[in-house]
Structure 1
Amino acid sequence: MFQLEDMISFFWAFFFVLPLVAFIHQLGHFVFVWMFGGKAIFILGRGNLLFKFGKFEVNQYYFLDSFCQYDNLKWDNRYTHALVYAAGSLFNLSSILIINLLIHKGFLQPHIFFYQFVYFSVSFVFFSLLPIKYSETHSSDGRSIYDVLKYGKSCSQLD
């Protein structure tokens, strides 16, 4: 049962853990764009700009959304684009495996933070890989992978 003392955990989850999971997801896209010689910007949140560090921006409502925009891949083909689209989920899956390994080996103790982190990471992977078209110009990572592999059609903005 959700009680008043659970509010601290609730706020911790939604204002720290969820943005951290989103950061790791977008970092995956960003790193793969960089590996394939492209240029990217990485934005965490919506609203007014809070701060900018190089190609990384954090906006006022940092906990609401995140995305990565890229262009000009040096190695520009359907497979490199598909890897860029999949990279967010690959980074989330890697972080889950690392956390579980560190707990299993005794370097970290089981804690609600890690449970929340893994829970949000799994949901990020699941929902990003569902092949959904949100609008004519915006698709999930899974749909973007499908479109680029089947039709050669790439998109430049990733959630």
Structure 2
Amino acid sequence: MFGWQDIPKFVLAFFLVLPVISFLHEVGHVFFAWLMGGKNIKLTVGSGDVLFRLGLLEVRKYYFWYGHCSFDSLIRNQRLANIFIFSGGVLFNALTAVLVMYLVQAGTVEAGMLTYQFTYFSMYYIFFAVLPMPYPDGSYSDGKVILDLIRNKPHLADTVYRITWSEDKRQWQVLDANKIVMETLKEESTAIERAQQIAKSNRPSRVIQSKEGQEMEIGNYPKVPL
């Protein structure tokens, strides 16, 4: 039964152990994103206003709640690369939990409340990350995304945005997935920047530029793992 004496343990687990486990989970995603050639990688811990940024790490006010990583422009096979990336968080949680259990068994680390909480909540984290389910905010668990990628579900297909030059209007156009004009802009650089903004807001997506009869990908924005 939960009693008053358990409150300090709960506080320790919620404000220290769980954030560490969440951080390790995101490090797993980041590692595979880097391995698969991802660019502009960012690891976010917590939610709310940003407290500080250090390199690719961003720590937010409520550091103990939520976390995700983002990245752009994978250079490897995207479907296989995303399977590895979305598996990375669970893999790192599992490896660190097994490491802690091994160290306890070997007598290198003394068994205690911290080691128990770390392994317990690591398994908790793994279970809910692997369970293939949608979340209330409309996003999916890692397991759901991995399953859909394996089954090649169409809703995970990239949305393609295009940048083309209109000879009639003498302006650059940003086209949606149905090649309908979304915006018309005078400068090429402005059109590219605007297309990238739209693509980042509608992941997974790609930006293709049509120029002199050739199509060239200038950016791809995979689905963000949690």
Q: TM-score range by the shorter chain?
A: over 0.9
Aligned-partner residue type, residue 30 of structure 1: V
Instruction: Tell whether the 8 Å contact from 1:45 to 1:63 is kept in structure 2 after alignment.
Output: yes
Aligned-partner residue type, residue 35 of structure 2: M
Aligned-partner residue type, residue 49 of structure 2: N
Q: Which residue of 1 aligns with 2:225?
A: 158
CA distance in 2, matches of 1:6, 1:132: 32
Larger Rg: 2
Bigger shift: residues 16-25 or 35-44? 35-44
Q: Which residue of 2 aligns with 1:142?
A: 143
Flag structure 2 segments of 5+ consecutive residues without an equivalent. 157-203, 205-221
The TM-score normalised by the length of structure 2 is: 0.67
CA distance in 1, matches of 2:147, 2:3: 43
- Once the two structures are TM-superposed, the CA of residue 10 in structure 1 deviates from its matched residue by 1.2
CA distance in 2, matches of 1:6, 1:137: 35
The TM-score normalised by the length of structure 1 is: 0.93
Residue deviations 1:84-112 (CA, integer Å, cap 9, x gap): 00010000000011001101111001011
Q: How does 1:47-66 map to 2 (within 5 A)?
A: 47-66=48-67
CA distance in 2, matches of 1:147, 1:135: 18
Shift in CA distance, 3/136, structure 1 to aligned 2, threshold 3 Å: closer
Shift in CA distance, 8/136, structure 1 to aligned 2, threshold 3 Å: closer
Aligned-partner residue type, residue 61 of structure 2: Q
CA distance in 1, matches of 2:144, 2:3: 39
Flag structure 1 segments of 5+ consecutive residues without an equivalent. none
Bigger shift: residues 84-93 or 48-57? 48-57
CA distance in 2, matches of 1:77, 1:90: 19
CA distance in 2, matches of 1:124, 1:53: 25
Identity among equivalent positions (%) equals 35
Greater RCO, CA 8 A, separation 6+: 1
Q: Which residue of 2 aligns with 1:97?
A: 98
CA distance in 2, matches of 1:109, 1:136: 40
Structure number with higher helix proportion: 1
Instruction: Tell whether the 8 Å contact from 1:17 to 1:117 is kept in structure 2 after alignment.
Output: yes
Structure number with higher strand proportion: 2
- Once the two structures are TM-superposed, the CA of residue 144 in structure 1 deviates from its matched residue by 0.7
